[in-house]
Amino acid sequence: MNNSRYLRLRSLMPLIVLLASPTVVRAQDFPGRNDQSPNAPTATGLLMANGVYDPADTDNEPPTADDFDTVIMGRDEAAKAERRQLAVNYFAERYGIDLSGGFADGGNIVLIDTLLDPRNNYRAYQIPGKNGRPMSSRQGWIVYDRQYVMFVGALGQPATLFGTWGGAEGTEVPPGTAAVDGDYLIQAGKKFRRKNPNNVYIRFQSADPIFGAATGDIKFNCVLLDESGEIIGAAIGRQEIYPIGNGLVQFAIQNVWQFPAPVWALP
């Protein structure tokens, strides 16, 4: 991979959003199913990040998505392949892009498998518990944020997306556009254990492409899904990067969850 292409892909690292054991609290335990009013949220969540660090610090290399899958989730190769296929299927349906081979459009669109750098200090300060009772923490619970990213512009070129978003004739998007299929795992217990009933897992997907993803300053509209793939909520937020000198940057993320799904998130 040449240096310019490598830098484009590295620039996506701040974007990055996991799959957890079915023994954790499941999304379908949350209130506010879609047979209720989609405009009246009955449960919400608040996730924020404010980490300050030097992303070029080679002495503190962050863990990879495969580290998370293998060490924390205990996934074997078959489970990893199954999760990847779910993302590939979504990008094909929603955006008409076949990333089964890892790239499309002559290499201009690539599939990136990544984990948000833990130095971002991503934490959940409120999450819905079972039966809608909110769980909150002043210190915040650790959020593991893992994504499969469909990135447009690895060759610096625009691309045309199809599927249910782009339409039969296609819609052109600029280089630096991205979409995600990922998973959150929130460590709501005092210690992380795969079978801790307080840990929360939920899957999410980009309802719309994320423009300007390569810059790191973005807004996102995602749908939240239960384990059967039903849309049950939305994640709405933004991410910004602030240089603060001496090579240090601050990654600020604000992410609000809403249950049930608002009208724009429903099929």
For the segment 74-113, what is each residue's pLDDT rounded down to a tens digit? 789 999 999 999 999 999 999 999 999 999 999 999 999 9
Residue 14 pLDDT: 38
Whether 136 maps to a domain, the answer reads: no
Residue 261 pLDDT: 86
Closest CA to 249 of 7, 11, 9, 64: 11
Whether 267 maps to a domain, the answer reads: no
Residue 189 pLDDT: 61
Of the two residues 180 and 131, the one the predictor is more confident about is 180
Whether 79 maps to a domain, the answer reads: yes
Torsion, CA 257, CA 259, CA 264, CA 267, rounded to 10 = 120
Residue 40 pLDDT: 67
Whether 97 maps to a domain, the answer reads: yes
Residue 130 pLDDT: 66
Whether 219 maps to a domain, the answer reads: yes
Q: Note whether 161 and 95 are within 8 A (CB).
A: yes
Residue 59 pLDDT: 82
Min mean pLDDT across 121-135, 136-150, 154-168 is at 121-135
Of the two residues 35 and 6, the one the predictor is more confident about is 35
Q: Which pair of structure tokens corresponds to residue 209?
A: 């492409």
- Judged against a pLDDT cut of 60, whether residue 5 lies above it is answered with no
What's the domain range around 24?
Answer: 3-130+141-262
Min mean pLDDT across 5-19, 116-130, 167-181, 189-203 is at 5-19
* Domain count of the fold of the chain: 1
How far is it, in rounded angstroms, from Cα 249 to Cα 62? 15
Q: How far is CA 16 from CA 118, 120, 193, 194, 218, in A?
A: 11, 11, 23, 22, 12
Min mean pLDDT across 36-40, 123-127, 165-169, 185-189 is at 36-40
How far is it, in rounded angstroms, from Cα 107 to Cα 235? 30
Q: Note whether 69 and 118 are within 8 A (CB).
A: no
Cα 178 to the center of its chain, rounded Å: 11
Whether 135 maps to a domain, the answer reads: no
Min mean pLDDT across 116-120, 223-227, 252-256, 262-266 is at 262-266
Quote the mean pLDDT of the chain.
82
Which contacts (CB < 8 Å, 24+ apart) does range 130-139 have? Answer: 130/25, 130/29, 130/30, 131/31, 132/30, 132/31, 132/32, 132/42, 132/43, 134/43, 134/44, 135/188, 135/198, 137/188
Closest CA to 124 of 25, 40, 248: 25
